[in-house]
Chain A
Amino acid sequence: MSEPQSKPIICPVCGKKAKTGSAIDCARHMFGTGDKPHRKWVDEHVKEHGESFIDLLIEQATTPGNRSYVLLAECIEKAVKEAEGK
């Protein structure tokens, strides 16, 4: 599981703070919302791992564990850091 954030993460697509503000909650929020803008963002940011929104969703569904959410959470954290760095 991801560490609690010092600063809450807000969704890079819609600006919502998901539950505790952790990256994993943000990832759940993204999968849960699943509308076009969120899908697009996920597709763009997990591409380098050879994944897509729908592949991660189906993996979450068909295999035990939480790999999809963790992977997306890492991508979100990275994206947030990059945005802050700019």
Chain B
Amino acid sequence: MSKEGLVRELQTKAKKLRRESLFVMKEMGSGWLGGSFSSADFITALFFYRMKHDPKNPQWSARDRLIISKGHACEVFYAALAEAGYVPKEELKTYSHLRSRLQTHVDCRTPGIDCSGGSLGLGLSFAVGAAIGAYILPSEKNLSASSRREQARFRVYCILGDGECNEGQVWEAAANASHYKLDNLTAIVDSNKFQSTGSVQVKMDMISLTEKFKAFGWEAKEIDGNNMKEVVDTLDWVLTVEDKPQAIIAHTIKGKGFPSLENTNCHFVKITEELLKKGLEALRG
């Protein structure tokens, strides 16, 4: 398929996942609309283009990992899991219900999810551990000798929020990742400019996340995270980087795809019938 064709296909899928995530949110009556919609494009590109994974075998040891460190962006990810076949589509209707696998933050009880989210600032550390593990050969060689720096068995992608980068452990993980030269690790910061109760700049201005990651020894790039072509190109670029982890600072729009909510702090939104209707109209296939 041509790149243009691929981009068009992923755009259509991202729109579909946004639409379906609205129904997921409706199950709780509220949802993490802003962060789900801002991250929908690169979640789609990762899951349906870049990552090596097998929904029929969620525990495949060489699968690429996707760690949703901003664990509240779960509804669009649940829609993606159902689309890929990790969970039945019917199960999306159990979101937030008692005993459901689909908890209100990503949960590792759900097939396709490796690390539970909700407690911010932890996911990148988990991703670093997994990425180190991808470089250790689980073979008999290990019983007596070194085998480091052979091919990594898999890649690890980690999605963080820009507000989440306030958390100190993100930077412990960032330092450790470059120390271990984890070129199989990509962090994607969903820079939608809002955190739970307001603008990231007003709450705690982190100044430049790009410069910070660079200072921590990463390759870092800023992109328009809602531009599918740029997302795809950047996810191709990460494979070319050697000896350094890669940070993609994805400038996104909170609530992207829901015009009346875009660029507002639509972090956690009550999903009324009217809002659902409005959203579905805006996201018509």
Tell whether A and B belong to one assembly: no
Binding site for B on A (CB under 8 A): none
